[in-house]
Chain A
Amino acid sequence: MAAQNLPGTVGTITNGQPDPNAVLDVQELRVHYETPGGAVIAVNGVSFKVRRGETMGLVGESGCGKTTAAMAVLHMVQPPGRIVGGHIFINGTDIVPLSEAELREFRWRQAALIPQGAMNSLNPVMKVRDQIGDGIETHEGKQPKDVLKRRILDLFGTVGLSSRVYDLYPHELSGGMKQRVCIAMAIALNPPLVIADEPTSALDVVVQRIIAQTLLEVKARLNVSMILIGHDMGLQAQLVDRIAVMYAGNMAEIAPVKSAFAEPMHPYTQLLIASIPSIKHKKPLKVTEGLTHDLRNPPPGCMFQLRCPRAMDVCRQVRPPLRELKPDHQVACHLYA
């Protein structure tokens, strides 16, 4: 599928060639969920990059396709979903056309996942050590027991788990400890890219901060690149270098985190930031009017037109392309045409 023929094409950013400076270069990614009522367009020609050593935040409301996009990066979209177009370059290799066997070589070694529900992401009938160990041994072959043990205990040290956890089962751990186990698992093979899918959403606020801190430390120590999916704008502000805002399967804005919060350009980003509660000014919660359109049948023009407070005539006809309006700050909106 030629990227140039699709609506929402970004032009200069995507050319089917990987960017050598990016660990991850997603170009014109399209993911559809096939349903009896037609294809649900979950990711609609999305492009973004993650640079070496960088943390990129991927935000948007529930159902906007951020998790689908991230799972696509691992080529793990759950059926009936599938990648119908685009390129995903990880360290220069396009993984979209790879076979199942080739993908097994690449997953976990090149891109690891810190899952959304750490509470249920560990196999309840296996000891923690075996679950970290099987990931390592699948990719690196059988290892002497003491070598493996030292390695797992090292990982525990990195993520701040006591060595006591080595012999425990998942149900004997707290939520925060389970999340740390998941982080330890993800960095076991030293992958260049880690995808953290709402790693703190199931935890209470205090533990959230501690886990976030752990993530930052791990990232700094190992110099991995990270995608941090979430909808907590406050957490994102503290953790990420750049932020990408998705709406209904489309990329609305990609910007360095400072400028995204200081001068958000897309009306949706502005609404997201305005909706962060503040204790100083009690303000009515800014709820965006209206609902998202039916994802099976997107309207022509901008995806956000139905809820946008500043929608114009052109928004109902032409899909705004993602354009770089300031250095490193890309927006898809007709307001700045």
Chain B
Amino acid sequence: MRGLTKEYVIRRLFMYVLTIWLGSTLIFLIPRLVPGDPIAAMVTRMQQQAGYVENSAEIIAAWRARFGLDAPLSIQYLRFLRNSVTLDLGYSLTQFPTKVTEQISKSLPWTIGLLALATVISFILGNTIGALMAWRRTPRAVKSLLPLSLTFTSVPFFMLGILLLYVFAFGLKWFPVGGGYGRGVTMGLNLEFIGSALYHAVLPALAIIISSMGFWALGMRGMMITTAGEDYMVLADAKALTPARIFWGYGVRNSILPQVTALALALGGIVGGAVLVEYIFSYPGMGYLLYQGIVNNDYTIIQGVVFILILTTATAVLILDLLYPFVDPRISYQRR
């Protein structure tokens, strides 16, 4: 395989496991460094609400035992590791009988659908706009219009979300105000549900695309200007290749390489959800889940979301590293 060696792949997989282990150890340790524990906090909250809770000390002890918080730290850590490997992330604290994995598996598809789609569309649009801004043959009229498409980049995307909601959902009533799918639509692989889900995804996706497009466009523009000065671009012109071929095959193909790295990181990070966008559109994804976890002090949910985030970021970077020799033939992991 091009540029890949068995030795490198094994080393890289080892690093992958190490990254996840270190990351999850941190999310195990950090909450436990904070004085107090979630059970005490919960009981305190109950006391505040009800004024008085009978046998509070016993309740705390019983719940601690239930969540395994009474064991010494080392035992807790070993249990945590075992549970992580089996992807058992425990119970949600605020919605007690439901498991964290259950909550996450309900939210994850929504977030992946919305953000993966939005990120990929934003990547394609942004890079095309950036490349066209730097391209010598772009018609002048187009060139002067392109920067306009990036003005919204400077608007924070939650502001943009509110604006979109006001205009298209509240004012024009073209799109729903929030949610992941229409009421009365049964979830499942049927056209009605998919159509409804897509319809509900338009506004949040638009908010993300419009606000993140500029990031890709500006990076691409800079790379494309650098590439335009390369000798192979001159030779491509001398060969009289079609402008489209020079643009895509020679210009964009070479300028896109650093952008691909950024894309892998962006895709790895999406499971954290776009918290504010999902909140504004009450979209049932990971961001919304994380937001609720934070608001309700639901430590296990937060821990679970962060764990999934570590897992996907590490996986995305792993995949990128293994694919990179195919994207850029100059990259090789062979020792020469």
Contacts and interface: CB of A to CB of B under 8 A. Distances in A.
Given A125-B253, A171-B330, A120 B240 contact: no
B333 to A, nearest CB: 15
Contacts of B236: 123
Contact of B254 (A115, A119, A124, A171): A124
B237 A76 contact: yes
A190 interface: no
Contacts of A109: 240
Interface of A: 74, 76, 78-79, 103-109, 112-113, 115-117, 119-126, 134-135, 138-139, 169, 171, 182, 185
Contacts, number: 76
A122 B238 contact: no
Nearest to B251: A123
Contacts of B234: 76, 78, 115, 121
Give the secondary structure class of B's interface: helix
A108 to B, nearest CB: 5
A147 to B, nearest CB: 19
Going nearest first, the 6 A-B pairs with the smallest beta carbon separation are A107-B240, A113-B238, A120-B231, A104-B240, A121-B231, A135-B239
Interface hub of B136, B232, B257, B328 (most chain A Cβ within 10 A) = B232
B231 A117 contact: yes
A263 B205 CA distance: 77
A170 to B, nearest CB: 9
Nearest to A139: B240
A124 B240 contact: no
B245 interface: yes
A109 B257 CA distance: 32
Nearest to A138: B241
A138 B242 contact: yes
Contacts of B330: 124-125, 169, 171
Contacts of B232: 120-124
Given A121-B232, A125-B254, A115 B238 contact: yes
B154 to A, nearest CB: 31
B250 interface: yes
A108 B254 CA distance: 23
A74 B231 CA distance: 15
B329 A124 contact: yes
A182 B230 CA distance: 15
Contacts of B329: 124-125, 169, 171
B249 A107 contact: no
A123 B257 CA distance: 13
B191 interface: no
Contacts of A134: 239, 241, 245, 249
Interface in B107-157: 136
Interface string B237-267: 1111110010001100110010000000000
